[in-house]
Chain A
Amino acid sequence: MPDYLPHTPEEVSEMLSFLGLSTLDDLFAHVPAALRLSGGLNMAPGMSEPDVADVFAGYTAANRATSSSLVCFAGGGAYDHEIPPVVKALSSRNEFVTAYTPYQPEVAQGVLQAIFEYQTMISRLAGLPIANASLYDGATSLVEAVNMAHGATGRSTMVMSAGVHPHWRAVVETFAAGTGHNLVVVPLRDGVTDWASVTATDVAAVVASYPNYLGVVEDLTPARELASKLNALLVVGGDPVAASVLRTAGQWGADIFVGEGQPFGTPLAFGGPYLGLFACSEAQLRRLPGRLVGETVDTEGRRAFVTTLRAREQDIRREKATSNVCTNQTLMAVTAAVQLGYLGTHGLREVATRCAQGAHYAFQELMQHSGIEAASSQAFFREFTVVTAAPADVVLRRLADEGFLGGLSVAALAGDHDVSVDDPTRSIVVAVTEKRTKKEIDAFVTAFAKAVK
């Protein structure tokens, strides 16, 4: 019977007799007998670690979409970036991995300072002065952003570009059932949000994506103007890698920046745990969701870090709280600080630039072939969308047989009738990272040209 219990049978007996009890079952004597599980759990008995490893080998063997078996051209917020061994080594240190929320700052300076450094890096990439200690993922960060906009304006209508990742839109819609928010999705025309079509009034937030989920870098000036006209907050969901070279959310006039931080040292990991990035203007500080670390001093006058502005949080405000977040994704935030420390000012720019170079090279090569067309005429960054002669799911299946995870089908992400493209069932979003070589891209293009026939 494998387990991780330290007690010897003699010790258990001694402890029980100290309590005046004779069996472990006696500990539960006050639990009504009628409720007790009489026959035990209907579950196989325990197994040793090596035996369980064999069970898990069955799961791993059934996954074909691993990075070693399929060359990854899929993105959509989850990117196949290089994670150097030094980043893995530091972010997997036991002291970071097995700690909890830094409630006692005297013994938690390690996590607190790492979060402080993370907050600084995210604040700079967002171009906004405040960044929190992280949220669950990009989608849930956006939920917190629209809730913040509601708190700031007292209004409930959210105007959201269809260029926002379809899963993010879906998550916002789910939580709107509780908050009563009204979601207005603004369609794209030729890959660009048709902000001029917005007729809504009483708007809390205008939500844009930069680049949008199809890869297009949209001019955010109309979104900013719309937000100003409606006296609403501008929320920008951004790719944090692109944020190192493109204009920051702050430079576009955003009040809130949200993003998916997975590209900063977190593996693809089948979608989680990822990292919800959240930054905002000073004006929204008191409504900030989640934890915030601030600098202060100890009784000796030494610099120290501590979670601060706790009066915002759920454990104090209870039913008056505007967010219920407590545990977030600290380990991923620490990992991001390590990865960004490794890349530094120039390394992150270089990664972003190489992604853009690879994407543009792949795009141009694909355009040489019949049966593949650009979904829009717009400029893009590291991701682009093509319209295929054959159905997208068929193309992607054929590409998998040739050794490629060929991209993401818009229909799979957004359903068959989304307002972001003309025909979701024939649209594929392709992403390229700094890991992809010319040789891989060339082979991918050849396979793609064959797959659309």
Chain B
Amino acid sequence: MKKAMPGGRASSAPLLGSDTEPTIFEMSQSGRRAFQLRTTGVPALPLDQLVPREHLNPTHVELAEVSERDLVAHFTRLSHRQFAVDLGAYPLGSCTMKYNPKFCDAVAGDPGLNSVHPGAPAHLTQGWLALLCDLEERLCEVTGMAGATLQPAAGAAGELTGLLIMRAYHESRGDQRKRVIIPDSAHGTNPASVTLGGYEVTTIPSDERGLVDVNALRAVLGPDVAGIMLTNPNTVGLFEEEISEIANAVHEVGGLLYYDGANLNAILGVVRPGDMGFDIVHMNLHKTFATPHGGGGPGAGPVAVASHLVEFLPGPKPAMTSEGTYEWRTPHHSIGRVHGWHGNAMVLARALAYITVHGGDGLPRVAQHAVLNANWLRQRLQAVLPAAYDRPCMHECVLTATGIKHNHNVRALDLAKRLMEKGFHAPTVYFPLIVDEALMFEPTETESPQTLEALACALEEIAEEAVVDGDRVRHAPLTTPVTRVDEARAARQLVPTEDAAERV
């Protein structure tokens, strides 16, 4: 018999120690239980009288057997071994880790929303349909678009949805097109989505300013181009100032412009993708509209489109009838469903709550303060970590550790790891790929000037340390629940489950 680990021992919590937290399987003791179920009075016939025996698994699928007390201790301790926005600043570039208002969680958690079955007919779910219609309208106003789908569950799902809309549009005109253009600074999801959308990727270089090279773009445009995918501000945090020229050039060859909304937080209420000439826009509600990131999802990636594409949107989608009630409608040339039900509804409800609190006057202030914070940090750090491009940035700044690496053999990754010992989450490192030793900081609008100053001071200290005690930086972090992990071993000797592990 296996000896169960004591669930009440808290030595893995950073407050008390630096031990390893047992897995829930190691804590398991046969015969222990936490669950309690309702008394139903339903006749308790044995399973083999209900389902033919050949369908029943002769063995038990082992999960774990723990007490409720041990369950609580285990997951609470795991939570103590986890950094989060609610603990401290999380300047992870391109992820918009802003504060998530608790109010929005509370609104979505109301049983009047979260206990509703998605298959209930429209006449029983009028409140949800109204909510979704209101959100669609707000998102269209923010992006300058005519209609939107709320189904895509994440930004990447939105990208693929947008590309399928692009495809359906061209095909409806009997127009077979082959290529989608992407700048070399793009996030990896863009080219992956293009491939899954059935198109070929044509990559164009950025110029020395970090912007799309319009001449390089013109050189690859032609009648076989389905469209271009751009992020604006782009992934180096700069606004594509020649966006109108770009839009005209792409439209001239019959292509469409796709806006990757990863960086929408920078321009909320200031400038709209529709006014820049974009035809298709996806938004990451978990970024721009502050829905919690959940440790890596759930997100939501609605896609808004210009009027000529509305009939291609996924369906069914909620719509108001002439009587003022709501119903599900499928657009005439809909590409179909992209989600099992209606999208990540709880995320959508949170986003609407956030938008409604801010309103038309509050949303531009979000963008203004996000851009203020990023520019201040960029300027403040100029002496230690210069910006990759010497131009005003938008909501995030890409700095480079090339000098520190060259002079002291301390890399961007080392700086990021050491920063975590000083109480901040690491920035995004080595992205975008076109910047050497990139450190991408996105402070967001919800961090105070004092926090930014403390962050800047921490980076200055680390830069000094790199000169006098480089090993300390190269070996960081030493004070976290675990130190640097052996990633090569994880891949070489893959242990993806407890069953693949050899426990003594």
Contact = CB atoms under 8 A, between A and B. Distances in A.
A59 B127 contact: yes
B208 interface: no
B4 to A, nearest CB: 13
Contacts of B426: 103-104
Given A5-B445, A296-B489, A345-B61, A52 B295 contact: no
26 contacts: A3-B362, A7-B448, A30-B391, A44-B356, A53-B103, A63-B125, A66-B115, A95-B84, A104-B426, A105-B485, A110-B79, A124-B61, A124-B62, A268-B115, A319-B192, A321-B195, A324-B159, A327-B154, A340-B64, A341-B71, A342-B68, A343-B63, A344-B63, A379-B51, A400-B121, A438-B41
Nearest to A59: B127
| Chain B interface bracket (under 10, 10 to 19, 20 to 34, 35 or more) | 35 or more
A148 to B, nearest CB: 13
B84 A344 contact: no
Given A106-B417, A298-B484, A96 B55 contact: no
Query: What are the 3 tightest A-B residue pairs by CB atom distance, in nearest-first order?
Result: A60-B112, A271-B341, A110-B82
B294 A119 contact: no
A438 B40 contact: yes
B402 interface: no
Contacts of A245: 47, 56-57
A91 B267 CA distance: 33
Interface stretch (B213-221, B330-338, B458-466): B330-338
Contacts of B455: none
Interface string B300-343: 00000000000000100000000000000000000111111111
Interface in B74-92: 74-76, 78-87, 90, 92
B24 to A, nearest CB: 5
Interface string A341-368: 1111111111101101110110000000
A103 to B, nearest CB: 7
Contact of B23 (A116, A299, A306, A309): A116
B82 A271 contact: no
B83 A3 contact: no
B53 to A, nearest CB: 11
Interface in B446-493: 446-449, 475, 477, 480-487, 489-491, 493
A56 B353 CA distance: 8
Interface string A84-119: 101001101111111111111111111101101101
Nearest to A167: B340
B36 to A, nearest CB: 7
Nearest to A29: B392
A437 B42 contact: yes
A288 B363 CA distance: 39
A165 B340 contact: yes
B371 interface: yes
Given A68-B111, A170-B337, A19 B379 contact: yes
Given A100-B92, A268-B117, 20 more contacts: A15-B372, A18-B376, A27-B392, A35-B276, A41-B141, A43-B355, A66-B111, A80-B117, A268-B114, A268-B115, A271-B340, A272-B118, A292-B496, A295-B501, A297-B485, A298-B485, A308-B491, A324-B196, A342-B34, A438-B43
A171 B142 CA distance: 28
Contact of B486 (A45, A52, A297): A297
A361 B194 CA distance: 50
Most buried by A among B120, B128, B343, B445: B120
Given A31-B241, A268-B117, A341-B74, A113 B499 contact: no
Contact of B295 (A6, A331, A346): A331
B130 to A, nearest CB: 6
A95 B79 contact: yes
B337 A167 contact: yes
Nearest to B201: A319
A424 interface: no
Nearest to A77: B340
A59 B359 contact: no
Given A98-B86, A110-B79, A30 B65 contact: no
Nearest to A429: B119
A375 interface: no
A52 B103 contact: yes
Contacts of B100: 97-98
Most buried by A among B45, B128, B482: B482
A96 B82 contact: yes
B425 interface: yes
Interface stretch (A131-139, A184-192, A197-205, A226-234): A131-139
A449 interface: no
Given A107-B420, A175-B160, A299-B475, A354 B42 contact: yes
Most buried by A among B18, B45, B113, B187: B113
Contacts of A295: 490, 495-496, 500-501
Nearest to A72: B117
Contacts of B336: 170-171, 173-174, 177
A123 B63 contact: no
Contacts of B86: 94-95, 97-98
Contact of B127 (A6, A62, A243, A308): A62
Interface string A63-76: 11111101010101
A317 B193 CA distance: 12
Contacts of B81: 109-110, 113
B337 A53 contact: no
Interface residues of A, number: 215
B267 to A, nearest CB: 8
A30 B116 CA distance: 47
A120 interface: yes
Interface in A122-172: 123-125, 127, 129-131, 133-134, 136-140, 147, 165, 167-168, 170-171
Interface in A273-295: 273-274, 285, 291-295
B253 interface: no
Contacts of B299: 327
B416 to A, nearest CB: 7
B182 to A, nearest CB: 8
A30 B72 CA distance: 52
Interface in B1-48: 18, 20-21, 23-25, 28, 32-45, 47
Contact of B117 (A95, A167, A405): A405
A96 B85 CA distance: 10
Contacts of A348: 61, 63
A318 interface: yes
Contact of A45 (B39, B361, B371, B428): B361
Contacts of A165: 340
B188 A117 contact: no
Contact of B364 (A14, A41, A180, A319): A41
Contacts of B56: 245-247
Contacts of B196: 147, 175, 178-179, 323-324
Contacts of B167: 177-178
A95 B115 contact: no
B403 interface: no
B60 interface: yes
A134 B127 contact: no
Contacts of B39: 437
B198 A177 contact: yes
Contacts of A304: 482, 485-486
Nearest to A335: B294
A117 B15 CA distance: 23
B66 interface: yes
A182 interface: no
B244 interface: yes
Given A56-B107, A342-B68, A63 B124 contact: yes
Given A327-B155, A345-B60, A52 B141 contact: no
Contacts of A302: 18, 20, 482-483
